[in-house]
Amino acid sequence: MAPLRLGILGSGRGSNFLAISKHIQEADLNAEIAIVLSDKPSVMLEKAHELGLKNEFVDPKRFASRERFDEALVSRLLAAKVDLVVLAGYMRIVSDIFINAFPRHILNIHPSLLPLFKGLHPQQQALDAGVKESGCSVHWVTSELDSGPIVLQKSVPVLPDDTEQSLSARILVEEHTLYSQAISLIAKEMESR
């Protein structure tokens, strides 16, 4: 089975990207990272560079609109012949141009048990709501924010003395395995089609 070609988009730290890359290197995940793109000159791109992966900072300020910016991303992902687009800490809302270019082929990871706590600061939202468990969700990206069909979820406890930071860290540990599991599941599904 040919490895699934991933196009990874992120905006910052890139720990999910690095976890995926590690699972590929350890042969836990039959995929290859075809390109890494960021809307910020991020740590993620530095890591991608160190790993010898094709990477690029695409500056949104160079484009007249969100749609023109998304077209630029799409053209790079298509040129890299990606099978699956993986949003990993990508903090921008993607336009329909982007979504329609890869129908049901864009994944996102979100640090809550969706459909709870969509949008920004989901870990703080969980603390404010007083829930006893939260977690992370890998889901397909649709035009409605954080609302597409869920692929996999993993829960973690919320502890009485948690802060946004401590809860985020507990969830992030689970994100680092969940995302690769979800990609693996999808790779198998795509292969059997």
Is the Cβ–Cβ distance between 148 and 140 less than 8 Å? yes
The nearest distance, CB 40 to ligand GAR, in angstroms, is: 10
The nearest distance, CB 193 to ligand GAR, in angstroms, is: 28
| Residues forming the site for ligand GAR (CB under 6 A) | 10, 12-16, 88-89, 109-111, 172, 175
Among residues 181 and 191, whose Cβ is nearest to ligand GAR? 181
Among residues 13 and 154, whose Cβ is nearest to ligand GAR? 13
CA distance 108 to 26: 22
105 among known catalytic residues? no
- For the beta sheet containing 55-57, the strands, ordered from the edge strand earlier in sequence to the opposite edge, are 55-57, 31-38, 4-10, 84-87, 106-110, 133-140, 150-157
The nearest distance, CB 114 to ligand GAR, in angstroms, is: 10
Which residue of the set 23, 110, 121, 176 is catalytic?
A: 110
Q: Which are the contacts of 97, defined by CB distance < 8 A and separation ≥ 6?
A: 67, 70, 71, 74
Among residues 9 and 77, whose Cβ is nearest to ligand GAR? 9
- Which residue numbers are catalytic? 110
